[in-house]
Structure 1
Amino acid sequence: MSSFAELNAFVEQWDRQDDGRRIGSGSQTSAEDFALERPLLTPLPVEPFETGRLFTPRVDRYGQIPVRTNRYSVPIRLIGMRVRIILHASHLVVYDQNMRLPGTSG
C-alpha cells in the first residue's frame, strides 16, 4: 500500500466481500446480522475523548521518567517532581502541570 486512500479502498473492498460471510453455522450473513444490530448502536460522543493511557511518574535525579519498560528524558528543572504523561499507541505527550512540554509529539 502506498497511500491511505489505497489502503482505505482495499479495506472497503474486503468489507463488501465479508458482508456475505456466515459465522459458524449461523443462518444469517454478517451484513444481515449488522442490519439487525445497527438500530441498537449508540451514536459516537459529540465531544472528543482521550484515547491514551495516563501515567504520573516522578522525574528521577537524571532527568528521566520511567514509562512502562522505557525511560524518557525531560528538562532537568523537573527533577523530583511528578509529571503527567499520556501514552498513545505511537507517541508520548509529557505535561508539566497543564503545559505540554516542547518536543513531545501529539
Structure 2
Amino acid sequence: MSPGPCRGPPCRSIDRIEPFVGGLDGDVYAFTTGLGTDRIEGFASGSDVIQLMAILNGSGIISAEQIVAKRVGVNASGEAVIDLGGGHAITPAGVAPSALTAADFLVA
C-alpha cells in the first residue's frame, strides 16, 4: 500500500478513500468529511491522535468518549473500525478496538 497524500502531522483526509502512513510518534490524522474507509498504517495508540470534526457526516459525534463508547467496531481481521456515519469509516491498521481510548481522539 502506498502512502496517502501526506506524512506526519497533521495528515488531512479529503473526500476520498485514502491510506495514511505515519511517522514515529505524535502523528495527527484530521478527518472532516468523506466516504469509504480510510486506513491508517502505523497508528500508535497513546501517542498518535485521530482528530474529527464535531457532528461529522451528521453522526452526532461531540466527544472523544462518545467515539470510544458508541462508534468503535471491529472488522473480520480483528482491527478497530471507527464508524463516522454517512458511509465513512477509519481503520487504524493492526489496532484492536480494546486498544483505543478517548485520549486517541480529538473532537474539534
Q: Give the TM interval when normalised to the shorter protein.
A: under 0.3
When normalised by structure 2's length, the TM-score is 0.25
- Whose strand proportion is higher, 1 or 2? 2
Larger RCO: Structure 1 or Structure 2 (Cα < 8 Å, ≥ 6 residues apart)?
2
Q: How does the TM-score come out when normalised to structure 1?
A: 0.25
